[in-house]
Structure 1
Amino acid sequence: MKRAAHASATGTRTRVRSHALLPDRHSWIDIGFTLALAGIALSAFGTSFTGSTYLVVGLLGALIAVVVTHLTRAAGWPIISAVVICVVVFFVLGGPLCLRSLGDTSVLPGASTLARVADQAVFGWKDLLTTLPPIDGDGPLLVLPWLAGLLAGLVGMGLAHLPVRRPWLAAVLPVLGMTAVLSGAIVLGVRHPQSLLLQGSVFAALALAWLAIRAHRASAAVHGGTTSYVRGAGAVVMLALAAGVAFPASALVGNDDDERAVARNWVEPPFDIGRYPSPLAGFRTYVDLKGTTNSTNVYDKTLLDVEGVDTGTRIRFATMDRYDGMVWGASDNALPGPADDSFQRVSSTIDNPVEGDEVDVTVTLGEGWKGVWLPTVGALQSMAFETGDPRAKAEVFRYNLATSTAVVPSGMAPGDRYSFTAVQPDDALTAETVGSAETTALPPGASFIQGPTEKWTEQAGTDPMDRVLAAAEHLRSQGKYSDGIGRTERIYVAGHSVWRLSDEFVNAPQIVGNDEQYAATMALIANDIGVPARVVLGAVVPEGGRVTGKDVSAWVELRAADGSWRTLPTESFMSMTPPADQVPETNTPMSGTVIPPPNPIPPPSDAGEQSDADLKERKATRKKSDEQEDGLIPGLPAWIGVVLTYVGGPLLLVALLLGAVVGLKAWRRHRRRSADSPSARFVGAWRELVDHARDLGQVVPLGPTVTRREQSLGIVSGQAGPLARRADSFVFGPHVPEKAAATSYWELVDAERRAMSGEVGRWQRLRAAISLRSLGVRPRRTSAAPDGAPREAAADTGRTRGLKSRLRTLADWRSRRAPD
């Protein structure tokens, strides 16, 4: 009561913000609308990813960004501090949330993990736009929705509390920001929207409701909460303006697929063989649409006219020798041995010694051809471009000797003509062909093929090539063919990701697909058995030499013991029988996790294939590697990885944030202790004592007119009063204090801070160390010092002017009372 009466008498106001970190009613409304609109915007990625992990990761990012933005605002920090904290969170949690599928130590914030997160943030959009959706929902491309969620939270809450002069602009800014987030997500999506109702009507309704609430709030703040026709008309005009902006923007989520504007329609990625889209992923551009039209379909269009080869010759478009769990694609150095397994710049004459029949071929590209892949036959010996700019094409032309794949990074156009000399090797697969003994590990996530492979080849004997042919026969005899075009066949979607080949193909009640799924699966089966395999996209030249889209097919090449590649024709492993109208039911459950027991391998034959011991050793090694992939860190139990992923990451984030608070206070204390002038050091020491008291929960008055002696009344300390008077005597004394006196004063303040901490419990001391109360914005001080005061105390004169006046009055009274 005395303290309150004293404060009332002196006219001071205590700056107290109880529950400063808890949002008020307006902040809760802004938080709710930001998260709701962020969730709708992130749903635009639904057609690009499988599952719902992308949405969980994105919403978590939005929630973290909203919390960080609110806390920094409550502490009085600038918006850039929220951006910096969110950047740190993005890299620290990016590994555990987005790179779990990579295994090993990718969940830990090491150098490689941070580099991968940064790479996906900068270049991931290219991978997203050049990969046939849907993309694996647990892959590294989750960095994109993670980043989008953080941006959505920052944009929504940051613009919601951005200080602007015009009320209408303050109301519109956050709504426009969230609309921009939705537009960006749609542009990175596909031509088919995830939900027109959600992204169109629901988003527009929420955005207009938020706009109306913020406009009413801003108007009430300006006019004192009174109503007027002018403000009502202004709200109507603002809603009309928002509707006018939303109407043309609705074309982005319109139901006309031909007019939907997405970046995937225009992106032209630079040549990079590791990133370039897999030609196999676009196989459905060559299928019969059965009456429907599509501008990208080339089923009936001429792809190329070939001269100089016999009917039935296989012409190669591209060879794909690497499977990453999403697509089969071309790569450099897929084979461990050959140095020529890379795309190299070559001259007009190519050093490519291969035994076989030499042919001179001329190719003219037709109206249906586009892209960088160059159709060739056999092993090239020379290449000559005849149209366009032959020199420019020759300079960028690259060829892979190991895969016999040619590319022109600048692209080829209809009407281009070129000729080449090639050697056609003997690539026929015969009964005497022995498979290569080179070890080929299964790609990540492809372990689902092991169970079906064992079951389908259990009667095939010991020879690896015999087992490959047995699996091919099972696919041909038990499978059905469908391009997913018919009304009852649309459930058979495109793609050859792990999801499509496992649950939707080999483990489905009925094996149904086209060349894309059959060739991709057959190559994985061969690699699992132990015979290196790769997928080839090309065509069989028909009579007359004119190749159209309907002639395109995909086949598999198997590596023989002599190092050559032998062709496993498409008809050897793919059925042409269409499926029934209704998918047959079965009582035998087969999921990707149910793997039949391995079939014992009989003793080896004398044909020169792998021995039984070699096969068992390779299977044991593969099983061990699969078990290690199940855990996040090799050699440790899987539950440790789970704890590190879902508990360690958030704990690390909390530790970083708390450490930042402690570090910021230590940096502030160092600046105050090492100030340039001794007077500023006295001022800083006293402020350090005040801040420590406030962090301990003591109510210390603040304000431009509050003196140190008045503040000492609110500090629970026996030495606060003497320390306040000593600081005043040095700061406002007739002489500039010495640095030694400031050092001695700091020692007294430090001792008093320790004494104050010793009087409270350990938990209260910990709360004081991480308290944000003393880091808030202080009231403004007067910048000019009065006459006679040291220049260093200019920042302190505002709050001590009243004290100097009272001291001067007391001195005059004493002089009048003194005897003559």
Structure 2
Amino acid sequence: MSRRLAARERRTDRAIELWGLGYLVLGVVLATVAAWPVYQSWRVVLVAVVGAVIGGGIALLVRRLGWRGITGALLTVLVAVAAYALVVVPVAIPSAVTGIPGIARGIRDGIVGVVVGWKQLLTLDLPVGEYQAVLVPFLVVTLVGTLLGTTLVLRDDRWTPLAALPVVAMVLFGVAFGSSETSAAADVFGVELPAPRELLLAVLTLLVTVGWLLGRSRLVRARALARARGGTVSGGGGSVWIAVRRNALAVGLIVIALVGGLAVAPAAAQLADREALRDGIDPSIVVQKQPSPLSDYRGWFGVDSFDSELFRVSGDVERVGRLPLAVLDDYDGETVHVAADTRFSRLPRSAGAGDDRIDLGVRIGEGYSGVWVLSPSALAAAPDFAGPRAEALDDGFAIAADSGGAVDVAPADDDFGLIPGDSYTLTADEQKVPADFGSAQGAATGLDPDEYPALLEWASLQELPRTGAGLTELIDRLRARGYLSHGLLNDPDATSWVQALKADGRYTFISSYAGHSRARIETLFTSLVDQQRRAGAKATDATLVAAVGDDEQFSVAASLLAREWGFESRVVVGIRLPAADEVPGIPACTEVCTGSQMSAWVEVRDPRGGWVPFDVTPQFAKAPTAITEGEQLPENPTVPDDAQSEAVDPPQAQSDASDVDVVPTGEDAVAGSGFWPIVRGVAIGALALVLLLLPIAAIVLAKVLRRRFRRGAADPEVRIVGAWEELVDGYADADVPFDRLPSRLLLARSAGRAAAEQLAREVDRAVFSEHPPTAADADSAWSIVDDERQTLRAGSTFWKRLGTVLTLRSFLARIRSTNRPVTVPLSMRKEIAP
């Protein structure tokens, strides 16, 4: 008999272990699926398999060798580190397998990657593939996760359920280090589910984890019952229906949680945007502290910078039209700059397959230093930096995910970025410009009439269609009616650029103020509006010249006109190369780029895809002409019929909006704009409160349902046994001390409660009596439980009663009791009923 029991117990132990190991395998599979969007490379599967095999193998080896205590833990860590160092290069850093020196560097990168690989993973564009050591974090996660999980599974004690934590952590790795953009919503039986992939991963992880816990609980319970039957103590009068109800309760709670989650998910997805770890780690903090490159634009035309070498470019120069230095996509009314929410990311250093690639080399001259990196907007790979600062520059390089503008935040003396002497080579895709921008249709207006009255008035005077062709003509008119000037009359730095313009043709110096604030732009358009009104309807462009400035003002003016026309726009500071159209006043750079060749232009997004560049440098062949109303213009000899005629206000600009589409202004607009943020904040706070209260509600609901199932059993004997279990659980929750002994009577005496001893005798009588108990006996047993609960409540404070309701001690105590062999004191053994 004992041998059969021992063999059966060994089989049960083996089943418990295999059940746990199977759970870990499923956890690794789910973790690999979650991490796939981050890498999108078959090697991620290899990393997961190797990490899981090593982690689980080390745990099995430790149990086989019997390592325990602090010494065993230290030996385990040493073996894990050695195994990791052995496999990290061929598995996670395959690019380092180029010989002994490469493998040595790979091992170094693998060790360093344990610390810094997480940041590198967060700052690369997704998918990261197999770039450098980006697979190291996932290898560490799977190896450590399976090592901890297997160790806990093999312990087979009260700590074993904690093996769910490393499994959940492995799955969360792919979610946390993935994109902040979730998968597209899916329609399931008429219900729109947001982020279906992420939701499915969460549901599968929950189901697998709960399934393992329930299955293990059943196996452990079966083993405990087998041990009890093999001893001298008779088992209690339990029923299989109790176990069925217990499992049904657990499954029911899971279903309620899943249904509740599916119901709340669509509403929650509309209230807040998902954020991933990569959204908070980028060079934006350094970039936001830099002054706007457009604000410093006139500095390039000073005596010190005009002829100073800024950059030296080489390679496929003749194939490139423009090289951006800074891409500025936000305007606050004072300066144009990089938007505060711009996310910067890294690029792989090796370019994938592609056609029509452009190779360029750039060397930083004595006239430039800073975080902005001169580079095409369609980089295929990160630049290859050279020189003593190459490693630091490679670490600090990043591009704006939306605009393609490149920066480098490597430390440089007391600042950041590039310094004279730095050099790099880069590979880029040939930039394709949309061919049919003229037919593009603009969206609704985006400018406030109260902020830009002069700009909108001048735009309406042109009477052009709100299309790409209309915008192109609008910018051409703006340039033709402007006049190029880089400084004030008394500015001594004006000598160089004035002489350069005079060398290109006849030039008359006219001073102009710097800056591109809203006031400065409005002044520019006010001069244009006044000149057009004075000149009349038949005036030529030469007569309408009135706005004085340079690329700084005209780039912002053109960008605002594009937004008024309904197109997304941005300002780019950089240089033009030979492939670009010639722009009088700003020469193109062929090899050595100086301050005289720095320019700014506008890029407008075609709604159908792609950015269209527009040069904005004003002409300098025709200076502004002062006109008084009624004056006969030399360009147009026609004399007005009425010399005393007054200027007539132009007709109202055409608008797509109707009277019913009036935009609220004043106090109504302020109230309307402030209402939704308040509602949003209240809704998010309420949802957060509901989510915080869900665990509490689940605990209370679980206890209520447990008591109802026990009390509502159809069989009186099962109801009486349920009353005893309810009393024991009540003692555990109320923190009444007692020993979990194999006899109800002994357990009741250890608690020192008269009600417990009375109920124990009634339960034993109902279970062991030859006559089945009646419904009245069951009601009597439950009345004892009710009276005892009232007694316990009366003798405790409010906070203690609240703690009794919310505690999980009764659930945890049952899990622990099934894992612990029962030892009966010698003095009590004779009192155990046969």
With normalisation by structure 2, the TM-score equals 0.35
Greater Rg by CA: 2
